[in-house]
Amino acid sequence: MPTTYFILAGEASGDMHGAKLIEAWKALEPDARFVGMGGPKMAAAGLEVAKDLDGMQVVGFWEVAKKYGFFKQVFYKLLDRVKQERPAALICIDYPGFNLRFAKEVRKLGIPCLYYIVPQVWAWKPKRAGQMAEYIDRAYCVFAFEPPFFDTFRTPQRKMKTVFVGHPLLDQPKPPMLALPPGPKTVSFLPGSRLKEFDSHWQEMSNGFWIAKENINKLRAIMSVPSGVPELLKWWAKSVLESCGEPSEKGQGNLLTTENSLLIGPQQEILRCSDLLSSVEGIAHASLLPSVSDFSVVKSGTSTLEAGLQCNPMCVVYKGGWISFSIARLLVDIPCFSLVNIVLGRYAVPELLQGEVNPQRIAAEIERGLTDQKYIEAQRAALAELPGKLGGPGASARAAQGMIDFLKGKE
């Protein structure tokens, strides 16, 4: 009879990493059965989906609070399923607001609780690390500095052991060596994959581009756009064409070649994003676009690591709702907020936060990142250190092996 494991991922990145973990686990234990919450990638890897990701991908304290009733319903539905399944272990992937509370309840049932891609409590709630150690049995970390941090909270009562397995981003396919059509320098913009994140950043980025273009002149850009905003794209494409002196109808189809990508004009410099992306299905925009760009402006998050691994100059931005931002400022106590700088241990790439995310500052970073050769080379040298800092390929396999060994009493 196959062994059942209950696994939880609450957003797209967790779905991606969860799928890799399931695949690696099944390579070691082919009959393993996985039940829980995840998206299409985990389902394709063999997850029996008790809850999909619909409605789960919410950002911000206030935004989560407004959906309290929904999350409570999902929580207890999944907890009931755990009681029915009696799995050999609970495996949590990131998504701390939900997963930590869930693990605490599951541990009361005597079920081992494992964590992969642990919450970044070192940034926003150090005391929660001690609480985690009371009900998480093993944590598999993606950053080398995390185990020493968590070890400071271990006591005879808090026995959670942490292991550095490396970052699963290094297991993702690398972008192919694409050559853009000949033309001016290219800037890529990654405003965020969630609609609210996108809405907070895209206008500041696009206006920053136009300011930079006035000074640099020959400049083009690509923006990564989440699905679900076609009307916004139509409006923006119209404004792009009109700003170039073109009729709003002419060439609009060329600008909107796919729902998930968009070129910022002018028309004679149009890049057909569908041509660029058609041969690279499955490659994240956060990796692909910076790999073909001279400079990138990237929303804070894991996407900064994906972009940084391409070793082209970049800057990091974050602008959120003022209520959520004010709460975060009270909780976060680290000198920098981008994962690239945190992993490198120094301020290697510029960061723009909240009010600093404005067209003038973005334009200044673009101009510096395209024209200051000494600055460009310094950034590239720093970013080249990232793979070594992230532990090398094989994180998913190491995590799966470590979890199996622990559950079988071999470690």
**Lowest-confidence region among 44-48, 184-188, 189-193, 329-333:** 329-333
pLDDT of 195 above 70: yes
Q: Does residue 270 share a domain with residue 134?
A: no
Q: Residue 8: pLDDT above 60?
A: yes
Residue 174 lies in a domain: no
Region 124-136: mean pLDDT is 79
Checking if the pLDDT of 125 tops 70, the result is: no
Same domain, 338 and 225: yes
Residue with tokens 């409570």: 72
Q: Which pLDDT score, from 0 to 100, does residue 254 have?
A: 32
Span 53-90, pLDDT tens digits: 988 876 655 566 667 788 899 999 999 999 999 999 99
d(Cα 29, Cα 212) in Å, to the nearest integer?
54
Structure tokens at 69: 């009733």
More confident residue, 276 or 57: 57
Asked whether residue 173 is assigned to any structural domain, the reply reads no
308: left (phi over 0), alpha (psi -120 to 50) or beta: alpha
Residues 226, 368 share a domain: yes
Chain length of the chain: 411
What mean pLDDT is predicted for residues 156-169?
A: 86
**Are 160 and 286 within one domain?**
no
Confidence of residue 261 (pLDDT cuts 50, 70, 90): very low
- CB burial of 14-23 (b: ≥16 within 10 Å; e: otherwise) equals bbbbbbbbbb
Pairing mode, strands 138-141 and 47-51: unpaired
316-344 average pLDDT score: 70
Report the alpha-carbon distance of residue 26 to residue 29 in Å, rounded: 5
Cα distance between residue 296 and residue 315, in whole Å: 6
Q: Count CA within 13 A, CB hemisphere, residue 129.
A: 22
Q: What is the pLDDT of residue 408?
A: 92
Given pLDDT bands bounded at 50, 70 and 90, which one contains residue 206? Answer: confident
CA atoms within 13 A on the CB side of 391: 21
- Per-residue pLDDT band for 288 (boundaries 50, 70, 90) equals confident
Q: How many domains does the chain have?
A: 2
Rounded to an integer, what distance in angstroms lies between the CA atom of residue 257 and that of residue 265?
13
Both 99 and 45 in a single domain?
Answer: yes
Q: Does residue 229 register a pLDDT over 70? A: no
Residue 360 or residue 223, greater confidence: 360
pLDDT, mean over the chain: 82
Residue 179 lies in a domain: no
Same structural domain, 298 and 370 = yes
Element (H, E) at 380: helix 373-383
Report if residue 176 sits inside a domain.
no
Q: Are residues 125 and 199 in the same domain?
A: no
Residue 261, helix vs strand vs coil: strand
Mean pLDDT of 296-316: 94
**Do 220 and 159 fall into the same domain?**
no
Kindly state whether residues 159 and 215 are assigned to the same domain.
no
Range of the domain at 243: 185-389
The reply to whether 237 and 360 lie within a common domain is yes
Q: Do 271 and 193 have their domain in common?
A: yes
Same domain, residue pair 250 and 360:
yes
Model pLDDT, residue 268: 31
- Residue 410 scores a pLDDT above 70: yes
Do the domain assignments include residue 103? Answer: yes
In a domain, 177, yes or no: no
What pLDDT does residue 333 have? 55
For the domain that residue 345 is a member of, what is the CATH number? 3.40.50.2000
For residue 137, being part of any structural domain is answered with yes
The per-residue pLDDT for 403 is 97
Residue 314 lies in a domain: yes
- Relative to beta strand 261-264, strand 219-224 is antiparallel
